[in-house]
Amino acid sequence: MNPKQYVQDAIRTESIVPRAVVNDKFAFQATVEAFIACATLLDLYKKNIYYNKPIDANKWHDSVNGIYKAIRHLNLNVGQRTDVLDIDSRILHAIIGIATESGELMEAVRGKLSVSTALDNVNLQEEVGDLNWYEAILIDALGADWDEIRERNIAKLKARYPDKFSSENAINRDVQAERKILEGSPGCDARAKADYFSVGGSDY
């Protein structure tokens, strides 16, 4: 399916609210902090498994402490007050959706680790489709273009890995150069932008 058509079909089924109203802003913020801390731990594992990067003990302990801090805050804040968040409601909807659908993918990993259940390929594909739906909402809310986002993503990876993936390049990134590519800066690597189709594989 054409990406632009997919975005149009996706937003047809979007639930739109004028404002993002939450039950207790501080409890919501603690929930976000806990999610970020857990995601950081998973990122440490990812880099250890796939990049051979040792787990950073300081980041590990900081993240674990962040989880405990968020949980303590949540235990103290289960109020009935409502707050309006100062963020575009469509953007927030998409970001939360991407996070929660990613959580559902992790449920498949948990099942495999805990009771050795077989991975359900149909369900995994369904969750990927749901992720795509939320991505489409975010792209539309940002006024962005899916093709351009993909092109810049591959250009960034081409700059990071001129030949092919390497653990060294994955760990030692030139963040400023990559940012210029993502911003479409005139000073970015023109060869990387021109050759993005030649990348045979990528890593984030």
Same domain, 129 and 167: no
Which of 144, 165, 189 is the C-terminal boundary of a domain? 144
In a domain, 78, yes or no: yes
Are 105 and 123 in a shared domain?
A: yes
- How far, in Å, CA of 82 to CA of 85, rounded? 10
Same domain, 20 and 63: yes
pLDDT number for residue 120: 92
Instruction: Judge whether 28 lies within some domain.
Output: yes
Q: What is the pLDDT of residue 122?
A: 96
Domain limit, last residue, from 123, 144, 165: 144
Residues 48 and 93 in one domain: yes
Residue 195 has a pLDDT of 40
94, 130 Cβ separation under 8 angstroms:
no
Q: Taking CA 14 as the corner, what is the angle to CA 8 and CA 18, rounded to the nearest 5 degrees?
A: 120
Mean pLDDT per block of 10 residues along the chain (204 residues) reads 92 94 89 96 95 94 95 74 91 97 95 87 96 96 92 87 82 82 58 38 43
Q: Is the domain of 100 the same as that of 41?
A: yes
> Are 181 and 90 in a shared domain?
no
The number of distinct structural domains making up the chain is 2
Residues 151 and 90 in one domain: no
- What does the angle CA 52 – CA 58 – CA 60 come to, to the nearest 5 degrees? 65
- Enclosing domain of residue 176: 145-198
**DSSP 3-state assignment of 4?**
helix
Residues 136 and 160 in one domain: no
Q: What does the alpha-carbon distance between residue 128 and residue 146 come to, in Å, rounded to a whole number?
A: 16
Q: Please, are residues 87 and 93 in contact by the beta-carbon 8 Å criterion?
A: no
Whether 203 is covered by a domain: the verdict is: no
Neighbouring C-beta atoms of residue 107, cutoff 10 Å: 11
Q: And the tokens for 3?
A: 């990406």
| Nearest by Cα to 93 from 138, 136, 127, 128 | 138
